A and B are shown apart, each in its own frame.
Chain A
């Protein structure tokens, strides 16, 4: 089955930029989605189809996908962005939905 990798943690100062990566074989050929999850809550979609945002998500959240790595970028980081972030893809070959292990973003 398809495997996604993420760094366990990323630390960033307020106002700076956080980049969270999601690795997978030829991931550029898949649509990558990103979720934010705060403690005790369900995941919330923040980016879909590599780089699109639901209307309620701030423009500070953006995404890209190239080669074997997709990236979620959070610009002008705020304290409220502290959360776990998960990437997710649909593996068309197996018709399975796969999540990454998650990255904990800490705002210093």
Chain B
């Protein structure tokens, strides 16, 4: 069955770059939009952005100046880079598949906790 698995460092220093990857297995990476969503402790999810298998992206305007998302179809892998992080970027980061027809996130990874601290 479909599985998404996020990976990356659990601790990042302020002003540095947060880099995460998401491995997609059990489902084709083609013909879907793949998303990054984060959830600060005790708060609701926040959509970060999406990337299509062609490499086309759509970012949350509040983060657009600091993020880059990419996709490697040969590896079935997504990537997220978030630059100049602060404590406000501390969150659980999820990758998720978008069902474009109904605009819902139907498959999620388990999430990875990232803490920004010196």
Residues of chain A touching chain B, judged by Cβ–Cβ distance below 8 Å, are 1, 31, 33, 35, 41-45, 48-49, 54, 86, 88, 90, 94-102
Q: How far is the CA of A45 from the CA of B43 in the complex (A)?
A: 18
| Chain B residue nearest to A49 in the complex (CB) | B102
Q: How far is the CB of B49 from chain A (nearest CB, A)?
A: 9
Q: How far is the CB of A74 from chain B (nearest CB, A)?
A: 19
B111 neighbours in A (Cβ, 8 Å) = 42
Selected contact of B61 from candidates A31, A42, A96, CB within 8 Å: A96
Is A48's CB under 8 angstroms from B102's CB? yes
7 A–B pairs (Cβ distance < 8 Å), ordered by A: A1-B62, A41-B110, A45-B104, A99-B44, A101-B43, A101-B44, A102-B43
Is A96's CB under 8 angstroms from B47's CB? yes
Q: How far is the CA of A99 from the CA of B46 in the complex (A)?
A: 7
- Please count how many residues in chain B sit with their CB below 8 Å of the partner chain's CB atoms: 23
Q: How far is the CB of B3 from chain A (nearest CB, A)?
A: 12
Is A42's CB under 8 angstroms from B44's CB? no
Given A42-B109, A99-B46, A99-B47: A31 and B102 interface contact (C-beta under 8 Å):
yes
A1 neighbours in B (Cβ, 8 Å) = 61-62
| Chain A residue nearest to B96 in the complex (CB) | A42
Selected contact of A97 from candidates B43, B62, B103, B109, CB within 8 Å: B103
Is A42's CB under 8 angstroms from B110's CB? yes
Is B103's CB under 8 angstroms from A31's CB? yes
B110 neighbours in A (Cβ, 8 Å) = 41-42
Is A42's CB under 8 angstroms from B47's CB? no
A96 neighbours in B (Cβ, 8 Å) = 47, 60-61
